[in-house]
Amino acid sequence: MTSDNRRPQPSDGLLERLASIIESRAPARGGDPQTSYVARLLQRGPDAFLKKIGEEATEIVMAAKDVDRADTDDSRRKLVGEVADLWFHTMVALAHYGLRPADVLAELERREGTSGIEEKALRKSAARERTGD
């Protein structure tokens, strides 16, 4: 890992390129479940990739606890690797549901500058309006 003043810069368009690769591996587009992990996950359906998302989220918690216990380059690398695994599997879910990273980025941009407490209160209020409470 690098120090705070030398963080790696993400590659422009990386998430969109990865999303395109994931979509191209879908069985409906000719992806072969025998040779492609993504095709296999998508063929097995939501239960398969949603289970992986849950597993990866748990692994992030465990890796973060390891950083809390011993903040080393190795423990930080492990945490970053687990987050990358979670992002990847959530991108498989996005592809399955016909969504792209740009949809998530647009939502984050929409929320930018809004306090988390305020944003949560707005969502609760909107949900009450939809249900008529």
11/22: higher pLDDT: 22
Closest CA to 53 of 106, 79, 92, 95: 92
46/129: higher pLDDT: 46
119/129: higher pLDDT: 129
Judge whether residue 2 has pLDDT over 70: no
| pLDDT value, residue 73 | 97
Judge whether residue 96 has pLDDT over 70: yes
| pLDDT value, residue 75 | 97
Judge whether residue 4 has pLDDT over 70: no
Q: CA–CA separation, 42 vs 16, rounded Å?
A: 18
Contact in structure between 92 and 18 (CB atoms under 8 Å)? no
Residues 29-79: pLDDT tens digits? Answer: 999 999 999 999 999 999 999 999 999 999 999 999 999 999 999 999 999
Residues 18-29: pLDDT tens digits? Answer: 999 999 999 999
6: Cβ contacts below 8 Å, ≥ 6 apart: none
